[in-house]
């Protein structure tokens, strides 16, 4: 079982779109996927029609003994979801008061899930984060094998890559077992270049800068079909299987995207 966090300190860079399509693609390969929605906007939960669910991710961040907040989706093979909580911001402020325990709630929950034999059902756990690097996001980072951070060819795209690496390094040096000096954060950080446009100077410059960097594992084009996936609840993996003429023309693009997902999977499997 591998745990993947998708996060960035910027909104609208494609975190949820990538989490959804990558997770669905893994499920289509026969892998068992658990999504955890760590954004108070609950966009990922919305895609599975799981809004205002009482058993939500908020139950992970508590000192009370509660039932595990896993909500299986019966109508979708290979995918389970822990729905998001609209209260996540106040939850985050609450965890921040918890001192040493504050980064460890997700860790403790997973340990409990593992004891109950629930966690072993999954091949991949995907955590879709919100746009701030707060205590909730740090909880995700602490349990992760891999962090995927989407970056885009916007004005501050490359700066965001640099800034995120620094933030993570800081957490790594702070969240440690003081007896051994080892960091609790073991995750490898990789970047996904998203919304790459054809023939625009900003995308070209962006790609030139990234070319020399080996931590950029996938390149995803800016395509209307990504919008469609979330608007129509129809992931890339479903479109690939669909013989409808409206998808047939897009088959090459869809296959290219699937190739990038394969690269992401390889990175995770080798972590």
Residues that bind Mg ion (CB under 5 A): 15-16, 43
Q: What is the 3-state secondary structure (H, E, C) of 176-198?
A: ECCCCCCECCCCEEEEEEEEECC
Shorter beta-carbon distance to Mg ion: residue 56 or 250: 56
From start to end of the chain, where are the E strands?
2-6, 33-38, 71-72, 79-82, 124-129, 146-151, 188-196, 216-221
Contact residues: ligand ADP, CB under 6 A: 11-17, 43, 194-195, 220, 222-223, 226-227, 230
Q: What's the closest the beta carbon of residue 112 comes to ligand ADP, in angstroms?
A: 28
Alpha-carbon gap, residue 198 to 204, rounded angstroms: 8
Q: What's the closest the beta carbon of residue 193 comes to ligand ADP, in angstroms?
A: 10
Shorter beta-carbon distance to ligand ADP: residue 146 or 220: 220
Q: What's the closest the beta carbon of residue 232 comes to Mg ion, in angstroms?
A: 17
Shorter beta-carbon distance to ligand ADP: residue 2 or 223: 223
Tell me how far apart the 2 most distant CA atoms of the chain are, in Å.
62
Residues 14 and 43: beta-carbon distance below 8 Å: no
The H-or-E segment that residue 43 falls in is helix 43-47
Question: Which partner, Mg ion, ligand ADP, none, binds residue 17 by CB below 5 to 8 Å per kind?
Answer: ligand ADP
Residues 161 and 191: beta-carbon distance below 8 Å: yes
Shorter beta-carbon distance to Mg ion: residue 2 or 15: 15
Return the SS3 of 156: coil
Shorter beta-carbon distance to Mg ion: residue 39 or 250: 39
Question: Which partner, Mg ion, ligand ADP, none, binds residue 2 by CB below 5 to 8 Å per kind?
Answer: none
From start to end of 55-202, where are the E strands?
71-72, 79-82, 124-129, 146-151, 188-196
Shorter beta-carbon distance to ligand ADP: residue 2 or 15: 15
Shorter beta-carbon distance to Mg ion: residue 50 or 113: 50
Q: What's the closest the beta carbon of residue 254 comes to ligand ADP, in angstroms?
A: 13
Alpha-carbon gap, residue 92 to 90, rounded angstroms: 5
Q: What's the closest the beta carbon of residue 150 comes to ligand ADP, in angstroms?
A: 6
Q: What's the closest the beta carbon of residue 53 comes to Mg ion, in angstroms?
A: 18
The H-or-E segment that residue 223 falls in is none
Residue in the shown chain whose Cβ atom is closest to Mg ion = 16
Q: What's the closest the beta carbon of residue 170 comes to Mg ion, in angstroms?
A: 23
Question: Which partner, ligand ADP, Mg ion, none, binds residue 12 by CB below 5 to 8 Å per kind?
Answer: ligand ADP
CA-closest candidate to residue 130, choices 94, 173, 86:
86
Question: Which partner, ligand ADP, Mg ion, none, binds residue 144 by CB below 5 to 8 Å per kind?
Answer: none
CA-closest candidate to residue 261, choices 1, 36, 28, 9:
28
Count of CB atoms situated within 10 Å of the CB of 123: 18
């Amino acid at each position: 079982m591998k745990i993947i966090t998708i996060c960035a300190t910027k909104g609208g860079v494609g975190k949820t779109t990538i989490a959804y399509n990558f997770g669905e693609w893994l499920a289509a390969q026969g892998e068992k996927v658990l999504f955890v929605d760590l954004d108070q906007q609950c966009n990922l939960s919305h895609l599975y029609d799981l809004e205002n669910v009482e058993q939500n991710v908020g139950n992970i961040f508590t000192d009370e003994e509660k039932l595990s907040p896993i909500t299986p989706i019966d109508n979708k093979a290979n995918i389970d979801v822990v729905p998001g909580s609209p209260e996540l911001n106040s939850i985050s402020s609450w965890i921040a008061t918890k001192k040493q325990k504050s980064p460890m709630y997700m860790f403790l929950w997973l340990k409990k899930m593992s004891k109950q034999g629930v966690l072993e059902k999954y091949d991949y756990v995907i955590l879709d984060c919100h746009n701030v690097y707060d205590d909730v996001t740090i909880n995700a980072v602490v349990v992760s094998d891999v962090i995927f951070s989407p970056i885009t060819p916007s004005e501050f795209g490359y700066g965001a890559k640099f800034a995120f690496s620094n933030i993570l390094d800081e957490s790594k040096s702070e969240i440690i077992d003081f007896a051994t000096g080892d960091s609790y954060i073991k995750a490898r950080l990789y970047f996904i270049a998203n919304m790459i446009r054809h023939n625009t100077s900003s995308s070209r410059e962006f790609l030139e800068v990234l070319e020399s960097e080996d931590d950029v594992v996938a390149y995803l084009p800016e395509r209307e079909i990504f919008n469609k996936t979330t608007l129509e609840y129809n992931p890339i993996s479903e479109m690939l299987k669909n013989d409808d003429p409206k998808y047939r023309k897009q088959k090459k693009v869809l296959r290219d995207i699937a190739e990038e997902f394969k690269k992401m999977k390889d990175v995770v499997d080798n972590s």
